[in-house]
Structure formats: structure tokens, C-alpha cells
Structure 1
Amino acid sequence: MQDCKDCIYVDTLSKRVTELEKDVDNIKKDITGIKQTNARFEEKFDRLFESIKKIEISIEKISNRIEEIESRPNKLLWGVLGTLAGALLVSGLKFIGR
């Protein structure tokens, strides 16, 4: 009789161990899936940060170009004033030289 009682416990433990093994296998599959998903997200984030860096560089170039364009009228004005001053100076010297 004692053997039969032990057999029931052994059978029950065997079933529980089998169920636990199945659970462990399922957990391993889940972990593998999570790792793969994580790797994909890391790739996407890397591409995203790379794109952000390119955008920052482009914005900086655009900013520099805008500053250059905004300073042009100033350069143009000084160029025109310099030309006018030179023309007046030459005209004045011709007038004085007569």
C-alpha cells in the first residue's frame, strides 16, 4: 500500500514538473521574441538619431546661409556707398583740377 501512495505523489510531481518545463519553454520563447523586438527597436532608434543628426546639420547650414543672406544687403549698401564716394571724389578732383 505504501508504494501506491508514493506512486501517486511521484506521478503528481512528474506531471507538475512536465507542466513547469512547458512553462519554461514558453518563457524562453517569449524572451527570444522580446530580444528580437528589442533589437529591431534599437535599429530604429539608431536610424532615428542618425536622421536627427542630419537634420541638425542641415538646420545649421540653413542658419548660416540665412545669416549670410541677411548680411548681404549690408555689404551691398557699403559697396554702393563706397562706389558713390569714389565717384564723388573723382568728380571733385576733376572739378578742382580745371
Structure 2
Amino acid sequence: MNTHRKDMPTQIAHPWKATVRTAVTTIVSAAVLFVVAQPIIEEQLGAYLPDAWAAWYAAAAGFLTALGAALTRIMALEQAQRVLALVGLGTGIERETDSASPDA
């Protein structure tokens, strides 16, 4: 079980909470898009789309939600944080702790 420290980003201290937050924001965004776009798509393209298009649209939203949540969970791993820091997308915590060390 991870314990929260002041120098630890919340994504690392509580990775499942970060994952759930990402899933919630993605599904809410997809739901809003579905509610707004569905009538427009149906009006403009309804004659050309198969009857099951809405189910495929909803399945795509669900897939993207699951994928986003899985990637968020993977990015919270310590190994992924090291890689993200190498490409300039780290949390910044590693720089603060590195500069505070006597070897710096």
C-alpha cells in the first residue's frame, strides 16, 4: 500500500484514484459529446448509417475510457515516471529531491 509523502505526487501515492478520476472525466466528456453530437449525426448522416451505429459509437466511447484509464494507471508506475522525466514530462518532484541531495 502506498503512503502519501509530501514529496510524492498524488498520482504515484494513490494511482487508483488517479485512474478513476481519468475514467470519470473521459466518460463524462464522451457522454456530453454523445448527447450533443448524436442528434446532429443522425440528422446529417442518418440515411447512410446502419441502425446499430449508436451502439458502435457508445462502444467506442467505452473503449476510449478504458484505454485512457489504463494508460493513466501505467503512467503512475515508478518506472514510467522515470521515462516521463527523461522526455520532460515528469512530475518535477525528482528534480527537487535531486537538487536537495548532497551529491548535486
Question: TM-score range, shorter-chain basis?
Answer: 0.3 to 0.5
Question: How does the TM-score come out when normalised to structure 1?
Answer: 0.33
More helix by share: 1
